Structures are given as structure tokens and as C-alpha cells.
A and B are shown apart, each in its own frame.
Chain A
Amino acid sequence: MSVLSFIQQLTTQLMSIAWLLFLVTWIVGWAIKGSPVPFHKVKRAGQSLVEDAVMAAFWMAMGSTIFAIISYIVNNVYQPMPPAPSP
């Protein structure tokens, strides 16, 4: 197995872990938020967990899109360089 395929495999595995983690965080967040504990601070922590989980899911979903956008923009902007001026 080459380094490249190892890294790509690792990335795929980590991606599934990340999705799982998002679900866990989301559930934990709602669980904390919905728990019958009359502490505002606890509720707020749960709320922030839910928000972060949603943001993480957003970044996760956008991951390959962001990378694709970067290469798309660069390839469109990047033209063959003109020869450097000589004085």
C-alpha cells in the first residue's frame, strides 16, 4: 500500500468517524438541552453542542466542494504566465 492510498483510506475512515461523531454530538447536545436539569448553563452547553455539530456537518459536507472550488478558481484565474519584462 502506497503512502498516498494509505492517506486516502485514512481520510475516508476519518470521514465516517466524523459523520458518526456529528450524530453523537448532535444527540448528546439535544440530550443535554432536553435534560430535566434546571440550570441555564447546562442548557446553553447543550445548545452550543448542537450548533457546533451542525456547523461541523456543514464543513464536512462542504469539504470536497471547497477544495474543488479552490482548484476551479485557480485554474480559471491561472493563465499561462507572460514572459517577464526586460529593461
Chain B
Amino acid sequence: MDILILASSLAMLSYVIGVIVYALPVPYRPIKKLGMAFIIDAIVAMILITIYNVFIYVGDFILNLLNLTWLDFYRWLVSRTAVLVGVFTGLSYLLSMIKVSQYSFILSPLNLVLTYISLSLSALKIVYFLSTLIFKFRKELVLLGVLLYSLPFRIGKGVGAFLIACSIVLYVGFPLMPAFVSYFEGNIISSGNFGPTTIYGTIVDGAGNYLPYSVLLVYLKKVSSPHAIPSAVILTNDRGKFVLGDGKDIIPKNTTLYLRVEYLGYVFVPQPNEFIAKGFKKNIVLRVNSIIYSAGVALLIPFNYVLLNKFITGNLIDVTLKPISNNKVLSLTLIKYHSTPIYRIAINNKEYICNWSVLSWRGIKLSSCTLNIKLSNDLFNIIIFHESMEPKRPNVNQKRLLLLSGISDLIAGYISLGVSLLYSLIFLPGMYVSLLLAMSAALSRVLGGGIRIKLI
């Protein structure tokens, strides 16, 4: 509040100076008018000083009236930044991958997009800076404005009024920016070609549990032979999740992909096994019905049996199978990590002992055994007790899908993405900020300042 006292002393000084100029023994009308103007300025400055609290209140009042908060604005800004950084990282990854492939000729348009995105990031930085300045130093700006306004000889009148107006208009204006931008960018996003094909999915077993570190094989035509060379080999993560596209693969739209799942040395046909790549898809589930997996042990279900009941925990498989045909021989294959201890195998409450044979799959040592059981029952209840094991990661040389016909789509997608980001993150906020500044200038003229901002 010391500044307010200083400002009021300065206003008094300006007033006295005004009186002196008015009282000068010079019979020249413009000098008298100037003195009168000084006096009036001092009086207006004094009014502004006394209603300082109103300036602070007005901003909060309007914000509450519009039901807006600065927190929401910053959340919006952070989500925007996250989107940009995500696209930037994905694109950088793609560029580094393309650099070493035969498609290096598309580097320059993609570099252009990268430039757009870095430009958008810089623009966002300016918005961050301006908004933080207003949010943190609003009261100080009003004080400075009032102080400058009361300086003698109308030195800081324009700037002072502009600062006061800015602190009100920008304080209300910035939280309104998300509404403004979303209103104008809505059509762009819905009509635009927003990036290339991206598919997120999970590979699960017959019981619906994910298969950790399973291998997804992608073919471009129907395969009958298990030795066909896949167009892409993708390793899922420890929760069975995979990503196709998202800057890692180049897939043209409407391409039919034929999928297989390789797990513990076997190749399975998942459901669904055909997929038309189109736009953005998430939560695709590829179900491998002929395998039941439980932390280190897998049970292969023969094709002529169906799963009726299942109870699977970390160290127990308890399933009931029913034959589809009139088949009284159950050929059951068990696979486990070589180091997984098995405590009990029981089929219809009868104990069995397996003769394990060792095999290797992509650097993981496995054991497998096959039990051929003749049974009189219609239903087979199988119980396996074992030690719970952490999933092991196979050595897979991942091969991503790069299709030449998808490149034009990709470039078009990324360029339109870059342009829409440029539009929604540089053009719209830039226009909005200049609009706010123009409004501040208008308000400053109401307060007595004379700053004029010409937009064009």
C-alpha cells in the first residue's frame, strides 16, 4: 500500500504543477489549457488510486460470473503441451527410423511438420509466459499502472491506463481462451485427416487373461503355411499390449492385415485374425482360444474341445473341457518355463506325471509334455498346481510394418496435423491475445489513456 501513498503524493504534486502552469503570468490560452489538463489528470489519478480495490475485485467478479477458473485454463494448456510433445516425440522417432530406410525421400515434408510443431511449442511458451505474468503480478500491474498514471506532466498516463486495463482484461480473458479456441478448431479436427492409422490392442488367452510378451505376427495376405515370412513381428509388453502405427509403422488406410500370435514356441490363430486398418482404434482384443496361461505354465486346448469352466490364479489352473465330437481321447499339451516347478497335475481327480522334454523358444528354455488320456467321462476337469513365475521376455528382432503406399497418407496426415496444430496453437491464441490487447487498449482509453493499437 506504500505505492498507493506514493501515487497519491505524486497526484498531489501533479495537481500543484497544474496550478502553477495555470497561474503563470503569460496571457497565452494553450498554456492555461495545459495547466487545466494537468489539474484534471491529477484528480482522475486520485480517483483511480482510491478505487484500486475495485480493479482487483472486477476481475474475480467477472470470472466467477462466467464460472471460469485459472486452474482449468492451466490444465487446458498442459494438455495441449502434452499433445504437442507427444506428436513431436512420435515424429522424431519416425524420422530417425525413416532416415535409415529406403523412404528417406519423405524426410523433408516431415521436417516441415516438425518445424510447425516446434513453432507451436514456442507460441505456447509465450502464452505460458504472458498468462503467468498476469496471474502472478496482476495486483502489482494495477499498482504500477496507478503510479505511472499519477506521474506529473502526463508522462505515464497512457501506459498507466493500459497496464490497469490489461490487468483486468487479460485476467478475465486468458481463462476464456479454451472456449474461444475450441469453438473455432472444432470443425478442423472433425473434418481433417488426423494422422495415420493407429491401433492399440491386447492379446489374451482363452480365459481372457493377457499373454505377457507374446509375439504378434502381421501378414499382408492370407497365410496357410506356418513358415510364411510375416511382414511385421511385434513384441507385446508384459501386459500383452501392442501398438500398430502411432509413428512406428506406416500402414495405408483400408489395408487388410492378417494376424497370428506366436507364444511359447507355437503359432496360434487369434480371434479376430483379419483386421482392416482404418484411422484410430483402441482396445482391440485378440483372443487366442486354444491356450490357457497362468504365470509360467500354459495349457494347450485341443481344437475339438471347448472350455466350460475356468478358475485361474497365479499358481493354479482349474479348467473343465468338453469334447465337441464323440472323442474319448484327450491329447493335452503342457508348456512351462523350464524352471517352473509343477506340484500336481490331476485330470478328473486322478494324478498324472509328465515326461518333460526341453525345447527353446526365442532364447527362453521351455519344457513341454503331452498327455494322452482315455477317459469315460464327458467332461474333463484338469487341475495344475505350480509355482508362480514372472514372465520372461523373448529375444525378438522386431520388424515394423512399412508400406510404401501408406507414405502419401502419412505425409498428408502429418502435414494436415501440423497445419491444424499451427492453426489451433499459433493462429487462434495469437489472434485471441491480440484481440485481448485491443480490448485493453480500448479500456485504457476509457480510463483516460491514449494508447492506440492497430491490428492491421
A interface list, Cβ under 8 A from B: 3-4, 7-8, 10-11, 14-15, 17-18, 21-22, 24-25, 28-29, 45-46, 48-49, 52-53, 55-57, 59-60, 63-64, 66-67, 70-71, 74-75, 78, 81, 83-87
B65 interface hit (Cβ, 8 Å): yes
- Least distance between B14 CB and chain A CB atoms (Å): 10
Q: Pick the 7 closest A-B CB pairs, nearest first.
A: A84-B64, A56-B23, A45-B27, A25-B25, A74-B50, A84-B61, A28-B25
Which B residues lie within 8 Å of A8 (CB)?
A: 9
Q: Is the CB of A84 within 8 A of B60?
A: yes
- Of residues B6, B10, B17, B19, which shows the largest number of chain A Cβ atoms within 10 Å of its Cβ? B19
Residue of B nearest to A32 (CB): B27
Known: A7-B6, A56-B19, A86-B67. A14 touches B25 (CB 8 A): no
Q: Is the CB of A29 within 8 A of B9?
A: no
Known: A74-B51, A78-B51, A87-B67. A21 touches B16 (CB 8 A): no
B403 interface hit (Cβ, 8 Å): no
Q: Is the CB of A3 within 8 A of B13?
A: no
B39 interface hit (Cβ, 8 Å): yes
Q: Is the CB of A11 within 8 A of B64?
A: no
Q: Is the CB of B23 within 8 A of A52?
A: yes
Which B residues lie within 8 Å of A46 (CB)?
A: 27
List CB contacts (< 8 Å) of B1-38 with chain A. 2, 5-6, 8-13, 15-20, 22-25, 27, 32, 35
Which B residues lie within 8 Å of A17 (CB)?
A: 20
A63 to B12, CA, bound (A): 8
B46 interface hit (Cβ, 8 Å): yes
Q: Is the CB of A63 within 8 A of B6?
A: no
Known: A7-B9, A14-B17, A70-B50. A84 touches B65 (CB 8 A): yes
Which B residues lie within 8 Å of A83 (CB)?
A: 64
Q: Is the CB of A3 within 8 A of B27?
A: no
- Of residues A7, A8, A66, which shows the largest number of chain B Cβ atoms within 10 Å of its Cβ? A7
Q: Is the CB of A48 within 8 A of B27?
A: yes
Known: A8-B9, A70-B46, A71-B50. A59 touches B22 (CB 8 A): yes
Q: Is the CB of A70 within 8 A of B16?
A: no
Q: Is the CB of B32 within 8 A of A52?
A: yes
A66 to B2, CA, bound (A): 21
Q: Is the CB of A25 within 8 A of B12?
A: no
B111 interface hit (Cβ, 8 Å): no
Known: A7-B6, A11-B16, A15-B16. A87 touches B65 (CB 8 A): yes
Which A residues lie within 8 Å of B18 (CB)?
A: 59
B57 interface hit (Cβ, 8 Å): yes
- Least distance between A32 CB and chain B CB atoms (Å): 8
Which A residues lie within 8 Å of B64 (CB)?
A: 83-86
Q: Is the CB of B51 within 8 A of A18?
A: no
- Least distance between A1 CB and chain B CB atoms (Å): 13
| Contact residue among B8, B13, B22 (Cβ-Cβ distance under 8 Å from A10) | B13
Q: Is the CB of A22 within 8 A of B65?
A: no
Which B residues lie within 8 Å of A29 (CB)?
A: 25
B47 interface hit (Cβ, 8 Å): yes
B43 interface hit (Cβ, 8 Å): yes
Q: Is the CB of A66 within 8 A of B27?
A: no
Inter-chain pairs besides A74-B47, A75-B50, 19 sampled, C-beta below 8 Å: A4-B9, A11-B12, A14-B13, A17-B20, A18-B20, A25-B24, A25-B25, A53-B25, A56-B19, A57-B23, A59-B39, A63-B16, A64-B12, A66-B46, A67-B8, A67-B12, A74-B51, A78-B50, A84-B65
B89 interface hit (Cβ, 8 Å): no
A-B contact pairs, 20 of them (CB 8 A): A10-B13, A18-B23, A21-B24, A25-B24, A28-B25, A46-B27, A52-B23, A53-B23, A56-B35, A60-B16, A60-B23, A63-B19, A66-B15, A66-B46, A71-B46, A75-B50, A81-B57, A84-B64, A84-B65, A87-B67
Which A residues lie within 8 Å of B27 (CB)?
A: 45-46, 48-49
Which A residues lie within 8 Å of B57 (CB)?
A: 81
- Least distance between A52 CB and chain B CB atoms (Å): 6
Q: Is the CB of A85 within 8 A of B12?
A: no
Residue of B nearest to A87 (CB): B67
- Least distance between B49 CB and chain A CB atoms (Å): 9
A50 to B53, CA, bound (A): 42
Known: A11-B13, A60-B19. A67 touches B46 (CB 8 A): yes
Which B residues lie within 8 Å of A56 (CB)?
A: 19, 22-23, 35
- Of residues B6, B8, B16, B51, which shows the largest number of chain A Cβ atoms within 10 Å of its Cβ? B16
